[in-house]
Amino acid sequence: MHTFLLVNPIFVQKLNILASVRDSFDSLLQNLSKLYKKVRDEKKSALNDVAFLQSGSQNRNTLTMRYWVHPDNVMELKLYILKNIPILVNTKNNKTNLCVSTVYYDNKKLGLYKDIIEKVDGAEEIRLRWIESNDDSGVIIQRNVFSNNNGKLQRKKQEIATKGKYVNSFISGEYTPERKFFKPNEGSKAFMNEIKENSEIQASILETINSRNLIPGILIFPPQIQRSSFGIFGDASVKMSLDTDVCMIREDNFDGNERAGLDWKRVDVRNEYPFPNLPERDICRFPYAILKIKVSVVMGLNPPLWVNSLINCNLVEPVPNFSKYVHGVSALLDNRVHLHPPWVRCSISKKK
């Protein structure tokens, strides 16, 4: 039965009112994603831009763009994206949302923050990331070095994986790749090369931590993020991630309160958003969702038309160079920060 009513906007508006319903959309979005994919496959126009797909992988530039999204517009945005690229599902638990936690290190003078916000060539970032609340499933220890390219920071990444129970020993230098860092395959050349490579990465990370006095627990911000990822397996032309329920949590001891102590992160933070057990002074609950778009653009070609339509619509608000870490430091340590990011006073409203 067909009517003249615009069902979709009304439907989305009603769903947004029901917070309990809004939290249980995983299976619905998964099914919609499969249906849209089937239609796209039949039409053989997954990105609505055949030339963009057929142009190969040579001579490509990757553009990364960040946007804020009002909570009331999140569902409509997801539906728009699903019409063009599918949602990626975590094969371990069959969920479309992942909780990604990140711990950032700094020193008492906020040296790393200062270098990043001033776009200093050679600025560094040390962070530890893990998925879900169980860090024993794996922690990525990462060192990023930034170069200033005409006012834009470009990142060069080094990273190494371990388990949460080994992180303190890793940072102290007691735990090395030779000691149970990987499942041993002694005798193989590949294994020895892997050990050598990861030993060098660990040395670089520890050099930054020690030379810049990045003591574990001094300044850590772990955003607890519900992340939805979108893209086509095997095709890096367009990748998107949408983070909701972003929360930065203070873990330093500058005010005399021990939060993380000697551990690499505080242990009283559980995956229980909005963290009612923590003092309000320790939390910054970010009011918007964060959309990140990565487009691999071939020289001489523009991104797909649907991507251009998305970034120019009123569902998203562009925030160039937005960083959750920089925002967290600026918001939680306002009395220690002398230079704030340009977006700190910005706000957005619901789509009209």
Q: Which residues are catalytic?
A: 324
Q: Which helix (H) or strand (E) holds 152?
A: strand 152-162
181: Cα within 13 Å, side-chain hemisphere: 24
How would you write 33-57 as a 3-class SS string? HHHHHHHHHHHCCCCCCHHHHHCCC
Residue 61, phi then psi, degrees to nearest 5: -115, 140
At 177 the three-state DSSP class reads: coil
Q: How far apart are CA 87 and CA 30, in angstroms?
A: 7
Q: How far apart are CA 212 and CA 70, in angstroms?
A: 38
Q: What share of the chain is helix, strand, coil (3-state, %, to 5)?
A: 30, 25, 45
Q: Distance of alpha carbon 46 from its chain centroid, rounded?
A: 25
Residues 259, 253: contact at Cβ < 8 Å?
Answer: yes
**Location of structure tokens 């917070």:** 19
